[in-house]
């Protein structure tokens, strides 16, 4: 963990992700001068709960020019922790009040679309925006679910832009490291391809299985015999429909590429099942088992108390 | 739980499933006269460990005529708890030594192929064979993983045959009820269709995801960013390749039907992603989330200590 101090942090969307960052920066590490954390919501009431819980110090309503100007004045860092589809309207709203020295970052699950939105909204100030993605979550959401140690040992990806100053990227890196996270640099394209593969595609596949059971005959009977394999496979099918709709649309190019490659593998396994070709099936299953087991042994397993939802 | 007494139970394959049945019948419920449990393996040595652990009383080698005859003499119940592909050779081996009063049952994950194998091996004695499937398992296997409470609250399916006497089916039902399981009757075809849907298909889909990642570029990078969604979705991709090869081949007709229906759903979701049709995606995801959440609330969630692997 690295020492990290700040004067003012402004968080747009104080839910699980934003709230956990605020708690981590305030509750972890050596005691020292504490910066101010301001939460901004569509209305002041929506972030009032976070203040009641002591997660943030002050609140501002997004729609109120004076409150927003006050909130952003002298901020070192702004975090966008709202759904990715809101990136462009949020940044457009923020832009007129943004100090030159403020660094803006985000926590969105997709990056190509977020960067395009940021370029459109910030124009020549794009260098102040450092795209980020903390890969952490829980099944529960909202500020009540925020934890000071949510990010411990988790990956945070930063996709530094050519326009970013090294100092701006380093500042956001230091912030995330102070939460206990491991920070890794990637290009926007690489991030979206990797996340499409290990997160977005499995979500689509899991939603699709439940959908297929619902459409077919005997859905109730099938559910009544579903056991542990089904439970784990479909846990992510209980994720937010709105969030996953946005991610699928925002990252469609990379997601379709992974989905098509997956469909090709599935067609090959189908042919082997149809032909009763046990050797091909066993070889494929053995490769998967070996890779999955090695992944787990390398630390893929995370603590049950903070199981990531993404 | 129902009282259940027996004189002699013979288990072919004393691993997790057979060992847990033996432990359940001996360690649960009111103390009373204890029946003898004999384990049979390909060699006596392979079941010796189960005797050392006190799970069974005696052992017999499958290849030794005299030992096998002794083991089966006067047995009330025989349980086959070996891989389903061994059903026919095992029953062919057992048939000459089988008492008229002995009831044979099995624990195989597929039933059409098991019944065909039993008809071929037992001929006119098919009425003595009551097909069964305890839907329980754990990630760990082998007799060391056997638990007396593995079956508590789990479903056991019995697929009674027209040739079975009601008394024979009732006897096997009583045995499983004594372990704490819930016993449900189904036709062979219904069982295979339901299990193809909620167990066999998810396993194939999970294996396929890991296989697809391995085949593509950046496999190591992708694995290094895989988090909780990936972990749960692919837990079953660490299952036994041999077992799942056999299940896929044995249940191919029902599995292909479910797989094709799944592929059709996936193609529809793909088209919606490609078209940026958020409304269709959100509607499908919301249906899945609702069904998955209701399933969980009805008790789909099982205790973490005995998480079923199938």
Return the number of other C-beta atoms located less than 10 Å from residue A241's C-beta: 20
In this structure, the dihedral spanned by the alpha carbons of residues A171, A177, A178 and A179, taken in order and rounded to 10 degrees, is 130
Could you tell me the pLDDT band of residue B310, with boundaries at 50, 70 and 90? very low
Q: What is the model's pLDDT at position A305?
A: 33
Average pLDDT, integer, range B218-227: 93
Are residues A150 and A250 both part of a single domain? no
Judge whether A192 is closer than 8 Å to chain B, CB to CB: no
Judge whether A293 is closer than 8 Å to chain B, CB to CB: yes
| Beta-carbon-side half-sphere exposure of residue B270 (alpha carbons within 13 Å) | 16
Looking at chain A, list the stretches that DSSP marks H as alpha helix, in order from N- to C-terminal side. Answer: 16-27, 44-52, 65-72, 87-94, 112-122, 166-178, 188-195, 201-215, 219-225, 228-233, 241-250, 252-274, 278-295
Partners of A194 on chain B (C-beta within 8 Å) are 218, 221-222, 225
Are residues B268 and B207 both part of a single domain? yes
Q: Strands B58-61, A8-12: parallel, antiparallel or unpaired by DSSP?
A: unpaired
Paired with A252 in beta bridges are none
| Residue of A303 and B261 predicted with greater confidence | B261
CA distance A9 to A72: 9
Per-residue pLDDT tens digits for A7-55: 999 999 999 999 999 999 999 865 566 799 999 998 888 899 999 999 9
Partners of A304 on chain B (C-beta within 8 Å) are 304
Q: What average pLDDT is seen over chain B? A: 92
Per-residue pLDDT tens digits for A129-174: 999 999 987 667 789 999 999 999 999 999 999 999 999 999 999 9
Concatenated DSSP letters of chain B: ------SEEEEES-SHHHHHHHHHHHHSSS--PPPEEEEEESSHHHHHHHHHTTS-SEEEETT-HHHHHHHHTT-SEEEE-S-GGGHHHHHHHHGGG--TT-EEEE--S-SHHHHHHHHHHHGGGGGGEE-EEE----SS-SGGG--TTTTTT-EEEE---TTS-HHHHHHHHHHHHHTTPEEEE--HHHHHHHHIIIIIHHHHHHHHHHHHHHHSTTHHHHHHH--HHHHHHTGGGGS-HHHHHHHHHHTHHHHHHHHHHHHHHHHHHHHHHHTT-HHHHHHHHHHHHHHHHHHIIIII---GGG----
Inter-chain residue contact B209 with A209, CB threshold 8 Å: no
B290 pLDDT exceeds 90? Answer: yes
Whether the Cβ atoms of residue A250 and residue A113 lie closer than 8 Å to each other: yes
Are residues A117 and A196 both part of a single domain? no
B61 pLDDT exceeds 90? Answer: yes
User: Considering only residues 98 to 117 of chain B, which have any Cβ-Cβ distance to chain A shorter than 8 Å?
Assistant: none
Name the residue among B156, B18, B37 with its Cα closest to residue B82. Answer: B18
Q: What is the model's pLDDT at position B303?
A: 33
Are residues B221 and B167 both part of a single domain? no
Judge whether B295 is closer than 8 Å to chain A, CB to CB: yes
Are residues B140 and B227 both part of a single domain? no
Paired with A38 in beta bridges are A10, A58
Could you tell me the pLDDT band of residue B92, with boundaries at 50, 70 and 90? very high
Are residues B94 and B128 both part of a single domain? yes
Judge whether B34 is closer than 8 Å to chain A, CB to CB: no
Q: What range does the domain containing B37 cover?
A: 8-186
A105 pLDDT exceeds 50? Answer: yes
B175 pLDDT exceeds 70? Answer: yes
Q: What is the model's pLDDT at position A139?
A: 61
| CATH classification at residue A171 | 3.40.50.720
Whether the Cβ atoms of residue A157 and residue A186 lie closer than 8 Å to each other: yes
A95 pLDDT exceeds 90? Answer: yes
In a domain, A259, yes or no: yes
In a domain, A2, yes or no: no
Prediction pTM value:
0.85
Are residues A180 and A268 both part of a single domain? no
Whether the Cβ atoms of residue B109 and residue A225 lie closer than 8 Å to each other: no
Q: What is the model's pLDDT at position B142?
A: 87
In a domain, B222, yes or no: yes
The phi and psi torsions of A96 (rounded to 5 degrees) equal -65, -20
Per-residue pLDDT tens digits for A50-90: 999 999 999 999 999 999 999 999 999 999 999 888 999 99
| CATH classification at residue A279 | 1.10.3660.10
Could you tell me the pLDDT band of residue A304, with boundaries at 50, 70 and 90? very low
Q: What is the model's pLDDT at position B136?
A: 87
Are residues A240 and A152 both part of a single domain? no
Are residues B172 and B29 both part of a single domain? yes
| Beta-carbon-side half-sphere exposure of residue A304 (alpha carbons within 13 Å) | 2
In a domain, A224, yes or no: yes
Number of structural domains found in chain B? 2
- Top residue of A16, A113, A197, A286 to mutate, by most chain B CBs within 10 Å, is A197
CA distance A167 to A267: 49
Judge whether A142 is closer than 8 Å to chain B, CB to CB: no
In a domain, B1, yes or no: no
Inter-chain residue contact B228 with A202, CB threshold 8 Å: no
Are residues B164 and B245 both part of a single domain? no
Judge whether A309 is closer than 8 Å to chain B, CB to CB: yes
Least CB-CB distance to B222: which of A194, A204, A284?
A: A194
Average pLDDT, integer, range A161-189: 97
Closest CA–CA distance from residue A86 to any residue of chain B (Å): 15
| Beta-carbon-side half-sphere exposure of residue B265 (alpha carbons within 13 Å) | 23
In a domain, A69, yes or no: yes
CA distance B136 to B180: 12
Inter-chain residue contact A204 with B266, CB threshold 8 Å: yes
CA distance B212 to A242: 27
- The last residue of one of the domains, among B163, B186, B209, is B186
Closest CA–CA distance from residue B72 to any residue of chain A (Å): 33
Are residues B30 and B175 both part of a single domain? yes
In a domain, B3, yes or no: no
Q: What is the model's pLDDT at position A244?
A: 94
Least CB-CB distance to B207: which of A195, A256, A288?
A: A288
Inter-chain residue contact A285 with B252, CB threshold 8 Å: no
Closest CA–CA distance from residue A66 to any residue of chain B (Å): 35
B304 pLDDT exceeds 50? Answer: no
Q: What is the model's pLDDT at position B250?
A: 93
Name the residue among B44, B301, B6 with its Cα closest to residue B174. Answer: B6
Could you tell me the pLDDT band of residue B43, with boundaries at 50, 70 and 90? confident
Whether the Cβ atoms of residue B84 and residue B110 lie closer than 8 Å to each other: yes
Are residues B201 and B134 both part of a single domain? no
Whether the Cβ atoms of residue A200 and residue A247 lie closer than 8 Å to each other: yes
B150 pLDDT exceeds 80? Answer: yes
Per-residue pLDDT tens digits for A209-262: 999 999 998 999 999 999 889 999 999 999 999 989 999 999 999 999 999 999
Q: What is the model's pLDDT at position B139?
A: 61
Q: What is the model's pLDDT at position A308?
A: 39
B165 pLDDT exceeds 50? Answer: yes
CA distance B270 to A204: 9
Per-residue pLDDT tens digits for B192-214: 999 999 999 999 999 999 999 99
Q: What is the model's pLDDT at position A264?
A: 98
Inter-chain residue contact A300 with B223, CB threshold 8 Å: yes
In a domain, A310, yes or no: no
Least CB-CB distance to A198: which of B226, B235, B262?
A: B226
The phi and psi torsions of B227 (rounded to 5 degrees) equal -125, -145
Inter-chain residue contact B259 with A273, CB threshold 8 Å: yes
Return the number of other C-beta atoms located less than 10 Å from residue A24's C-beta: 25
Complex ipTM: 0.85
- The last residue of one of the domains, among A129, A159, A186, is A186
Q: What is the model's pLDDT at position B154?
A: 93
- The last residue of one of the domains, among A140, A165, A186, is A186
């Amino acid at each position: 963990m690295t020492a990290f101090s700040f004067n003012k942090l402004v968080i747009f969307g104080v839910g699980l992700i934003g709230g956990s960052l605020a708690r981590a920066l305030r509750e972890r590490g050596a005691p020292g001068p504490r910066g101010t954390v301001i939460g901004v919501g569509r209305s002041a009431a929506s972030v009032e709960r976070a203040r009641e819980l002591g997660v943030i110090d002050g609140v501002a309503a997004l729609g109120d020019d004076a409150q927003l100007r006050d909130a952003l004045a002298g901020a070192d860092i702004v975090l966008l922790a709202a759904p990715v589809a809101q990136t462009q309207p949020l940044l457009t709203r923020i832009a007129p009040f943004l100090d030159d020295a403020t660094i803006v970052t985000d926590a969105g699950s997709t990056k190509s679309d977020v960067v395009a939105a940021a370029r459109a909204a910030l124009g020549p100030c794009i260098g102040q925006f450092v795209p980020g993605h903390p890969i952490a979550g829980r099944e529960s959401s909202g500020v009540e679910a925020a934890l000071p140690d949510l990010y411990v040992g988790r990956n945070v990806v930063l996709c530094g832009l050519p326009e970013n100053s090294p100092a701006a990227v380093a500042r956001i890196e230091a912030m995330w490291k102070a939460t206990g996270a491991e920070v890794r640099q990637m290009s926007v394209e690489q991030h979206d391809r990797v996340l499409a593969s290990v997160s977005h595609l499995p979500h689509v596949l899991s939603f699709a299985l439940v959908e297929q059971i619902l459409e077919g005959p005997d859905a109730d009977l099938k559910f009544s015999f579903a056991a542990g394999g089904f439970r784990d496979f479909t846990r992510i099918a209980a994720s937010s429909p709105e969030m996953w709709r946005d991610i699928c649309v925002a990252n469609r190019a990379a997601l379709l590429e992974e989905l098509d490659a997956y469909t090709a593998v599935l067609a090959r396994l189908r042919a082997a099942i149809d032909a009763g070709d046990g050797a091909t099936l066993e070889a494929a299953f053995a490769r998967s088992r070996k890779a999955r087991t090695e992944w787990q042994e390398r630390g893929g397993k995370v603590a049950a108390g903070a199981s990531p939802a993404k």
